[in-house]
Structure 1
Amino acid sequence: CTEIYFRIHNDLLPVGGQTREYGERLLATLYGAMTSVSDSSYKPTERQDASIADRDKLPPELYGVRIATVPTNEGSLMVLRLLYNDVGENLDLGSLGFSAQQVSDLQRLKEQPIGMNIISGPTGSGKSTTLQRVLNGQILEGEGKLHVLTIEDPVEYPIEGAVQTTVTNAHTEEERSRLFSAAISNAMRLDPDTIMIGEIRDRASAQNALRASMTGHQIWTTLHANSALAIVDRLIDLGLQQSLVLDHTVITGLISQRLVKQLCPHCKRPLLAHLDQVPAALLARLRQVIPDRLQDVCISGPGCEFCSHRGTIGRTVVAEVIVPDESFFRHLRMGEKCQAWRYWKESLGGRSIVDHALDKVVAGLIDPAMAEKVVGHFQGAVAASVHHLHVVEADGAA
């Protein structure tokens, strides 16, 4: 049979089923009739990637759809990623969930004329949305005097005022990597002020991005890494020279972000009134890290009409933003990763992604159990560093 699921706020929800024959016709129709690819024939025994970019085939709130297919031992799997064009006129990074200090750090990075700023996080963590708002804000603040060029595979979100280019006509992963790397190299000859690279995916694209940041360009890009600090390890693992990676005039920003479901303000419940619904181990960790703030913590409610009976209303960013300086990178050059982390937190006022999640827990914005599923256990977080931040309650990030 054919099973259909929607992913809503990161949870897979079944929405019905059909016969196997219906599913095969549905996948072939979606791929063959709607995608904008040169080879539009659906091949259920092969892995295929495509996109739907023709606006006439999409509702107004969608900018595009990315499609990926793979054969399985029981049939075929097709995943459609919906790309919403919902930035509007709201360019405030704080409404995505970034703290006031993180917004200030990101603004500082936007205003630097050179250097590479790298955002890490898993698929679906809002990296593209953050990039879209950063670049839209930069273009607006530059009053049209900046040349912003993007290199994407494919173009995901519209960035008004930017020249957006896509890498196309690649039939293999090797050819795609070669064309992507060549596009980065070519971009440096097109007189850009800022280059946005959709993703650093291999050694060649990493080297070209680094070269661009060393030749008078500001670079914004994404990379798969487990934390802001792990971005450095990932770049070195890709084969970049440590001396260049650990240069604060070349790598100017390290950002890691995740998305956590945000509690419905109408039906969320106070933790202390429902202790029996919280795992004992989690409660013990909370008593350790925020012993004086338990009365401010809330957990997910039963759901109501306001939140469509989910208990949550969208998702919010939890992040860490490192603006490295010479001393921070000096520790890393000497192999002193723990000292670098301590220096960032104590001397530069850094707050980790766990700290940021805890801030939102004590603000009553996110459920501690939901937060730990995203950022890991709160064990070891410093209670004294947890402050109640003013966080705008919004629908979260895409």
Structure 2
Amino acid sequence: MAIIKQIESLYDICGRESILQSDPGGLIPLPSWVADDVVIIGPQKSKTVYLIHSPDSRESQAFYVAATACMDKRVSIAGQLVAESSIIKILKQEKTGSKLTTKTSSASDQILFETLMKEAVAENVSDILIDNSNGRYTVKFDIDTIVRPVRGITRDEAEAMMRHFYQNIADQDVVEDSIFSFDKAQFAAGDGIWNDQKVRVRYQSKPSFPEGCDFSLRLLNLSDSAGFNRYTDLCLSPSQLALFQSMNQTESGAVLVAGITGSGKTTTIKVLIEECLQENPGIQIRTAESPPEYVIRGARQHHVGEDVSGETDVYAETVKELMRMRPDRIYIGEIRSRQTAELFSKAVLSGHGVYTTIHTDSPYEIITRLEGEGVSRDVVSSGNFINGLIYQKRLPRLCNDCKLPLDANTDLNKRLSLLKTDLSGVFTQNPEGCQSCGNSGVRGSIVCMEIVKPNRKMRNALRKKNEQEFYKYWLELGQEAGYGDAVETALYHGLKNMVKGIICPTHIERRFSGLTPLLLKEQTHTWSEDNGFSIPLV
């Protein structure tokens, strides 16, 4: 029998207007020690009810007492439902208007947190989100960039679980405050072992209006067997891979990786650094991260603390300290302030190879963002300051065991005809999924990447703030140097994987926008309305 994990699923069966018949004023009042694990719910003027019990109470005395009470009252049991203890608590709260007042985490709450973490690690969850909506708390899993609700919990369970993590698991050198608070935004990070895998958890809380708090837990698997470690793990095209490798071989200059949160920027940096260290044994690469997300094998990693007072840019201070230690290359976790951007610039100009990440929407916009943080275009466009600009999006992979052929008679198919290419290899997500993908229709994710390595003409275009000229020269350079499809954009490479049956076209449109002539013109380099792509997708 399936276990009910969300209150709405329970109401779909029993009806939202049903009342708690096991309450003291109900048709079948039960002792409080019974009602902790077993409740009875049904319509107000009906002798047909549902008996709802927690997973471990089916053979318990409490279940026997509840079932016997139904028989004594000559009440018909329409069904026996198994619900998580959290759902029974939420049901009692909503039907009686009671409010739980627990302020300390109990052993059961710690077990709930451990169970949640084991389930998340087993399913390769990247983020656990606990969202509050009108007092209801829902746990959601981000799996392969798709967020789905998995269970409901009470406010007190949410608070107790997060307090347990913050005060018992989080590294006390990383937490912003020594005491957990449900009423203020807090950051923390800590490591634990679940399912025999070491996982780093990055915690962020944020109070929500009008009451309550939302939580986000980023899960970073630190086990050697987890994550991407080699160039080939990134699933780049052969031309992209060759460009990626050549960019990483240069000793000086900056490599900047851009994308939204969750796009895999840090993973890409991890691959770049680990490959560089394997190809160049003996060089020293130091990192400044807040906090370190992965174990980068061979690198000397340094945690950057937070100055709650805001009086000191701790990130910038750490970068200064690292530069005095004479590393060959530096990884600055993120350009997050003008002072950090200034030190990034000084590190590059002093001859260091520098890796960093930044939040922008394209390779060209990386330069605009740097300028906004105080790094002049004259500096950015000088000499070999920029070694590589990378922009990426992460999209879910279709499950090979249940993906569906493209339906020819849809509006989507009409939009895909703009590509002017063979669509026989295009597949779509199965909404019901299968056992292989946990009934999600997707399994794993893939990065769609745009890589740019500027030459002199492109640097001049940057200096002049001429984006059109910048990409024109990039195409010319690609043709001269034989870069192939590496000169194309993230959208192009998403479409390339789509026609191979790896990515669903619906996910392409969700991440990039609906396919139109304007989108294809603006976000690819070689598409025309008359001829499609000059660099074929297939």
Q: Same fold (TM over 0.5)?
A: yes
Matched, 1:275 2:412: no
Q: Secondary structure at the match of 1:150?
A: strand
Q: Secondary structure at the match of 1:294?
A: coil
Matched, 1:81 2:218: yes
Q: Secondary structure at the match of 1:188?
A: helix
Match of 2:317 in 1: 182
What amino acid is aligned across from residue 227 of structure 1 in structure 2? S
Aligned partners of 1:187, 1:88: CA distance in 2, in Å?
Answer: 29
Match of 2:338 in 1: 203
CA shift for structure 1 position 75: 0.3
Give deviations 1:8-36, integer Å, cap 9, x for gaps. Answer: 22222222222222222222222122111
Match of 2:89 in 1: none
Aligned partners of 2:473, 2:496: CA distance in 1, in Å?
Answer: 21
Aligned partners of 2:224, 2:368: CA distance in 1, in Å?
Answer: 32
Counterpart of 2:429 (choices 297, 300, 305) is: 300
Give deviations 1:157-205, integer Å, cap 9, x for gaps. Answer: 0012111001125224553xx1101111221111101101110111111
Counterpart of 1:319 (choices 449, 456, 480) is: 449
Aligned partners of 2:165, 2:137: CA distance in 1, in Å?
Answer: 15
> Aligned ranges for residues 1-398 of structure 1 at < 5 Å?
1-38=136-173, 39-53=177-191, 55=192, 58-73=194-209, 74-85=211-222, 88=225, 91-143=229-281, 145-168=282-305, 170-173=307-310, 175=312, 178-271=313-406, 274-276=407-409, 278=410, 280=411, 282-289=412-419, 291-301=420-430, 302-348=432-478, 349=483, 350-379=487-516, 380=520, 381=524, 382=527, 383-388=532-537
Give deviations 1:340-369, integer Å, cap 9, x for gaps. Answer: 112213432511111111111111111111
CA shift for structure 1 position 121: 0.6
- Checking the alignment, whether the CA contact within 8 Å between 2:404 and 2:427 is kept in structure 1 is yes
Aligned partners of 2:290, 2:474: CA distance in 1, in Å?
Answer: 34
Aligned partners of 2:267, 2:391: CA distance in 1, in Å?
Answer: 13
Give deviations 1:110-169, integer Å, cap 9, x for gaps. Answer: 1101001000011111111111111111111112x1101011011110012111001125
- Checking the alignment, whether the CA contact within 8 Å between 1:2 and 1:19 is kept in structure 2 is yes
- Checking the alignment, whether the CA contact within 8 Å between 2:495 and 2:537 is kept in structure 1 is no
Aligned partners of 1:58, 1:300: CA distance in 2, in Å?
Answer: 30
- Checking the alignment, whether the CA contact within 8 Å between 1:110 and 1:134 is kept in structure 2 is yes
Aligned partners of 2:242, 2:225: CA distance in 1, in Å?
Answer: 21
> Which stretch shifts more, 75-84 or 348-357?
348-357
Cα distance change, pair 91–51 in 1 and its aligned pair in 2 (3 A): closer
Aligned partners of 1:185, 1:6: CA distance in 2, in Å?
Answer: 38
Aligned partners of 2:311, 2:488: CA distance in 1, in Å?
Answer: 39
What amino acid is aligned across from residue 150 of structure 1 in structure 2? T
What amino acid is aligned across from residue 298 of structure 1 in structure 2? F
Aligned partners of 1:233, 1:319: CA distance in 2, in Å?
Answer: 19
TM-score, scaled relative to structure 2? 0.67
Match of 2:104 in 1: none
CA shift for structure 1 position 59: 4.9
Cα distance change, pair 157–236 in 1 and its aligned pair in 2 (3 A): same
Cα distance change, pair 347–161 in 1 and its aligned pair in 2 (3 A): closer
TM-score, scaled relative to structure 1? 0.89
> Which stretch shifts more, 224-233 or 7-16?
7-16
Aligned partners of 1:77, 1:100: CA distance in 2, in Å?
Answer: 43
CA shift for structure 1 position 305: 2.0
What amino acid is aligned across from residue 366 of structure 1 in structure 2? I
Match of 2:41 in 1: none
Q: Secondary structure at the match of 1:252?
A: strand
Cα distance change, pair 41–172 in 1 and its aligned pair in 2 (3 A): same
CA shift for structure 1 position 304: 1.9
Aligned partners of 1:60, 1:314: CA distance in 2, in Å?
Answer: 21
CA shift for structure 1 position 385: 3.3
Structure 1 unaligned runs (5+)?
Answer: 390-398
Q: Secondary structure at the match of 2:436?
A: coil
Aligned partners of 2:310, 2:142: CA distance in 1, in Å?
Answer: 27
- Checking the alignment, whether the CA contact within 8 Å between 1:198 and 1:221 is kept in structure 2 is yes
Aligned partners of 2:220, 2:308: CA distance in 1, in Å?
Answer: 23
> Identity of counterpart residues, as a percentage?
29
Q: Secondary structure at the match of 1:284?
A: helix
What amino acid is aligned across from residue 379 of structure 2 in structure 1? L
Cα distance change, pair 205–169 in 1 and its aligned pair in 2 (3 A): closer
Cα distance change, pair 386–40 in 1 and its aligned pair in 2 (3 A): farther
Aligned partners of 2:157, 2:465: CA distance in 1, in Å?
Answer: 58
CA shift for structure 1 position 388: 4.6
Structure 2 unaligned runs (5+)?
Answer: 1-135
Q: Secondary structure at the match of 1:155?
A: coil
Aligned partners of 1:169, 1:259: CA distance in 2, in Å?
Answer: 29
Q: Secondary structure at the match of 1:347?
A: helix
